[in-house]
Amino acid sequence: MSSLLTGNTPLQQLAQRISSKQAVVGIFGLGYVGLPLALRFAEVGLKVIGFDIDQAKVQQLNASGSYIERIAPQSVQRALDLGFEATTDFSRSTELDALIICVPTPLDAHREPDLSFIIATIDAALPHMHVGQLVSLESTTWPGTTEEILAPRMALRGLSPGQNCALVFSPEREDPGNPHFGTKDIPKVIGGSTQSCLQLGLALYQHAIQTMVPVSSTRAAEMTKLLENIHRSVNIGLVNEMKIVADKMGINIHEVIAAAATKPFGFVPYKPGPGLGGHCIPIDPFYLTWKAREYGVNTRFIELAGEINHYMPHWVVGKIMDALNNRGRALKGCRILVLGLAYKKNIDDTRESPAVEIMELLQSKGAEVAYSDPHVPIFPHKRNYHFDLHSEPLTPENISRFDCLVLATDHDAFNYDLLLEHASLIIDTRGRLDWLQHTVVPA
């Protein structure tokens, strides 16, 4: 980096602006990843412009509001006081020294990578970009995306990474609801198109992140994020399959996991559940399996774990049907209350939540479905699901009017004693309740 701090080339000028904290940072995508990062860069004294296509989000932020539960309006106001602003105007990309892309990378209807958000973002910014800018992609994707998708588009604008601009990949590692690891605390993996790109990326991020983890290339950084989440997907798939086996044998899998976890070496406990949720773990493995086919590799192990995890909501619905049948009831016409809409406890993030799929499956079989979640007061807009619902209050009268409660997400805010006292049947997918209670059925 020291060699970049002297001279008058575009990259040297960029290095000087980054080093002196005069650089203007643009965050593209102000969701669960982009907004915390934007606030962090503002906190350390850099000018930040946030970009989003959702006008409502932009207006809310500029009015010092927040649409993410864990981000207080006061945090947004502090950032505004420090110069942060949000906009839908991509022409303002011309003002930036660094463009950080934090947009979704979902799967399409055929469970193949959908890079449309990345492509739309870079294409919208590109007409306003210029030499001497740094582009960082944080969206999880297949190895090669940065070099094969972004670099050619930038070349059309006369931008050559390592020559007159910089290009890096640095995967997001947010863990919503984790009180121990905020944006600044999570080590930042980063790979550059060239060594100078890497040095510029490190210089920028180290203002906001405590620990940097440089790797040899953008492809290595892209693969790192996939490995992290595939590791979790495979292990969760294993423990979910073990749960099904243990259930057939009448064994409490949570008791077994707790006992196995006492081994001080060679075992890492993973908890089973109703399926995978969040933007990363249900999706990321399929990015690698798709790309691996280009190299003639069949990722059977990864795909099997994905199949098991994808099956879990269906297995839960089967357990609900069995439990009702044992009480002389059919699922059709029953009133079912799903407890917890978020994909994990104590947060408001419902992306890819198995609770939503369980609701859809139950409704398709004729059940009357409702939900209760203190973190999600109104059912959010989703591309594949729509329920015109709000969170049900958990009063004794309201609990007792449902034929079955399904504990999909074990928020700490739930009054479990109240649920046990007034529910006629509870399907527990998280191992939170005492399965010896006559009203509790494990799933």
35-49, 124-138, 217-231, 374-388: segment of lowest average pLDDT: 374-388
pLDDT for 126 beyond 80: yes
Q: Which of 108-112, 241-245, 429-433 has the lowest mean pLDDT?
A: 108-112
CATH number assigned to the domain covering 2-216 = 3.40.50.720
Q: What is the pTM of this model?
A: 0.93
Task: Give CATH superfamily name and number for 253-442.
Answer: NAD(P)-binding Rossmann-like Domain (3.40.50.720)
d(CA 270, CA 282): 16
Contact of 157 with 51, CB cutoff 8 Å: no
DSSP 169: E
**Could you state, in order of their start, the residue ranges of all structural domains in the chain?**
2-216, 253-442
> Torsion angle, CA of 351/354/358/361, rounded to 10 degrees?
70
Q: Where are the beta strands (DSSP E) in 46-165?
A: 47-51, 85-87, 98-101, 134-137
> Is the predicted pLDDT of residue 2 greater than 70, yes or no?
no
Question: Which residue in 165, 280, 334, 404 is the catalytic one?
Answer: 280
Residue 438 tokens, joined? 């006559």
Whether 253-442 and 2-216 are alike in CATH topology: the answer is yes
- The Cα 179–Cα 125 span in angstroms is 35
Match 């997918």 to its residue by tokens: 429
Q: What mean pLDDT is predicted for residues 12-37?
A: 97
pLDDT more than 70, % of the chain = 100
Q: Output the CA torsion sign for 14, 17, 18, 24.
A: negative
Give catalytic status of residue 280 as yes or no. yes
Q: What are phi and psi of 161, to 5 degrees?
A: -55, 130
